[in-house]
Structure 1
Amino acid sequence: MTADSKPTWPALAADHPLLQLHSRLPTILEQAEHSHIWGVHLSPATPPDFGTLLILQKYLRSVADDVDKAAENLTKTLKWRKEFGLDNENANTPPEDFGPDFIGLGYVTKVGKHGGGENVVTWNVYGAVQDIKKPFGDHQRFLRWRIGLMERAITHLHLSTTSTPIPDYGKGDDPHRIDQVHLYGGVSFLRMDPLIKAASKATIEIMQAHYPELLLRKFFVEVPLIMSWMFSAVSLFVSAETAKKFQVISYKQNLGRELGLGRLEDIPQDLGGTGPDLPTLEKRLEHEIPPQ
């Protein structure tokens, strides 16, 4: 694809679910009164815009090509994004603006893969929590921070500029997804605290409802046996398909082998890689040039 050309989606049959969903966009956008999601402006224009089809495909795949359900879910997400203010000009609040209670709790990096390419990774460092009430006490503040971490990660998928389509449901993997790593080494909360339970439940519900087909794998690292309640709780709120993506790693040194996929220099040494710490790895993304 040249610099001034636009990516094209593979040819679609007239009755393809993707075109059926696209035909409903005028109604969806009118009901939602919002058209932006993950850096993409959804357009009902014909022929369909590549970025628009990319988003619609994620919603279709998440419901096994059920066009009615995909339209319903997309409408709900767009309404929620408008109400939450996620696509406002100043929507991306810097992590430091949430205050010292959230410093060191979340990072976004990339990890190289065998054969080229990279995976975007979010890191939740729960072992850095010293006082449960500080990050988890203000429910809405925690959710804005956690959603902000996800939104920052999604920007590095470059959904508005990619030329790589998503295969139809059941015909291949979605290449535009994110790895999540939850680090529990040194956690000071070893029981089902009501604050943590409420924050976890709300976060899972939001991710399930408004971030379809964005999770590649989720690693739970150094989870104390006493926290086995966490997996029982999570299983109540996620689909069986999502639960298959979960992986528990008892020893943090094994994460590099599981997550590395080739470039261990993109993973900290104390987590089985050969790279620097997470703050240093995250800074690399500040100088990233989006693909054209």
Structure 2
Amino acid sequence: MSSQSPSWPDLTPDIPLFQFHSRLPKILEETNHPHIWGVTLTTSAPPAFSTLLVLQKYLRSVSNDVDKAAENLTKTLKWRMEFGLDKEETTVEEFGPDFEGLGYVTQVGKPGGKEDVVTWNVYGAVKDLKKPFGDLQRFLRWRIGLMERAISHLNLSTTTTPIPDHGKGDDPHRIDQIHLYGGVSFLRMDPLVKAASKATIEIMQAHYPELLLRKFFVEVPLIMSWMFTAISMFVSAETSRKFQVISYKENLAKELGNAEDVPKDLGGSGPDLATLEKRLEGGTA
């Protein structure tokens, strides 16, 4: 017994989303790569719900400019193929102790039963800069892998919740990002860190549009203010407005939501990040 596929509200030929979808055959022919964020883009009629979700994110990121959205999606699909994403084999690259404790993916409950996906970058876990940051391409594979894992928990291929048109409401399919700087030992403008930060920002800006809900910078040393200057140079004003600096880590839980999903040392009542991540992976979060 088959279930009926969800339908997109108000999908008429005069709206940008419909027009963007009509460009998809040419985009897929040019890129030969239909996969992105767990979704396989299709040119079917009526349009597949998951395909429209992806297209809507690209449209919203450029204020409904169909030409620009098509250009950006084309670049992203080419980049994903070149970067080696979306391969059929399920082998996960192991990064070993160099990245141990540096990144996590969890969920935090919100009122009404909703759950926000959260990525954590724990920079205080870095003891030797050359290990995670010395090989830029290796660092980027790890960092993009963290983002892709988080996106997988948005369930874009199966959700039935649409994204409103640009200017008509919030996108419900986005991620909180948290950067923890407590105990950071690299209190200087290290060129390895700057190069990794710059490259990561450029990739996120170019190939992960409308996926950031909020970004928190927690316990940031004053001497690292250069990072915010760098960020402002590479992101849009709309994106930078999502950034929030939290001086005292104990205040983070108040911003995120359910205290049980936030570690105790960050103002919550939950276990450590490793345990929270295992809870998510086990499907009990």
Whether the TM-score (by the shorter chain) exceeds 0.5 is yes
256 and 92 in structure 1: CA distance in 2 versus 1, 3 angstrom threshold: farther
C-alpha distance in 1, partners of 2:132/2:71?
33
CA distance in 1, matches of 2:164, 2:91: 30
Contact (CA 8 Å) 1:92, 1:148: kept in 2 or not?
no
Which residue is equivalent to 1:246? Answer: 243
Distance in structure 1 (CA, Å) of the matches to 2:95 and 2:86? 18
> What is the distance in 2 between the residues matched to 1:92 and 1:195?
28
In the alignment, structure 1 residue 266 sits paired with structure 2 residue 237? no
Unaligned runs of 5+ in 2: none
Structure 2 Cα separation of the partners of residues 13 and 87 of structure 1 = 31
Q: How far apart are the structure 2 equivalents of 1:12 and 1:4?
A: 21
Residues 32, 135 of structure 1: alpha-carbon distance in 2 compared, 3 angstrom cutoff = same
Quote the offset at 1:70 in angstroms. 0.1
Residue 86 of structure 1 contacts residue 92 of structure 1 at CA under 8 Å; is this kept in 2?
Answer: no
Distance 1:139 1:163 in 2: 38
Matching residue of 1:13: 12
The letter of the residue matching 2:143 is: R
What are the ranges of 5 or more consecutive residues in structure 1 without an aligned counterpart? none
CA distance in 2 between counterparts of 1:273 and 1:289 reads 18
C-alpha displacement of 1:91? 5.8
Output the CA distance in 2 between the equivalents of 1:92 and 1:178.
Answer: 25
Confirm whether residue 218 of structure 1 aligns to residue 215 of structure 2: yes
In structure 2, the residue matched to 1:125 is 122
Q: Which amino acid aligns with 2:259?
A: L
Q: What's the TM-score once normalised by structure 1's chain length?
A: 0.95
In the alignment, the residues of structure 2 paired with residue 221 and residue 185 of structure 1 have an alpha-carbon distance, to the nearest angstrom, of: 7
Taking structure 2 as the reference length, the TM-score comes to 0.97
CA positional deviation for 1:93: 2.2
Q: CA deviation at 1:284?
A: 0.9
Question: Which residue matches 2:29?
Answer: 30
Counterpart in 1 of 2:105? 108
Matched to 2:134, the amino acid is G
Identify which of 174, 195, 198 aligns with 1:198.
195
1:97-152 deviations in Å (ceiling 9; x for gaps):
11101010000000000122100000000010000011000000000000000000
Name the counterpart of 1:50: 49
Deviations 1:43-86 (A, max 9, x none): 01111010000000000000000000000000000001111111
Residue 159 (structure 2) pairs with residue 162 (structure 1): yes
2:275 matches 1:280: yes
Aligned residue in 1 for 2:205: 208
Q: Identical aligned pairs, as a percentage?
A: 76
What's the counterpart of residue 61 of structure 1?
A: 60
Q: Report the Cα offset of residue 11 of structure 1.
A: 2.2
Relative to structure 1, the CA distance from residue 24 to residue 141 in structure 2 (aligned partners, 3 Å threshold; closer, same or farther) is same
Write out the 4+ residue segments of structure 1 that deviate beyond 6 Å after TM superposition. Answer: none
RMSD: 1.4
The residue type paired with residue 27 of structure 2 is I
Secondary structure of 2:179's counterpart equals: strand
Figure out how many residues of one structure are paired with residues of the other and give that number: 285
For 2:174, which of 158, 165, 177 is the aligned residue?
Answer: 177
Q: CA deviation at 1:90?
A: 3.1
Structure 1's 191 and 3: CA in aligned 2 closer, same or farther, altered over 3 A? Answer: farther
Task: Decide whether the 8 Å contact of 1:85 with 1:91 is kept in 2.
Answer: no
Whether contact under 8 Å (1:111, 1:267) holds in the other structure is yes
3-state SS of 1:157 partner? coil
Opposite residue 177 of structure 1, the aligned amino acid is: R
Matched, 1:82 2:81: yes
Alpha-carbon distance between aligned partners in 2 of 1:43 and 1:268, rounded to the nearest angstrom = 41
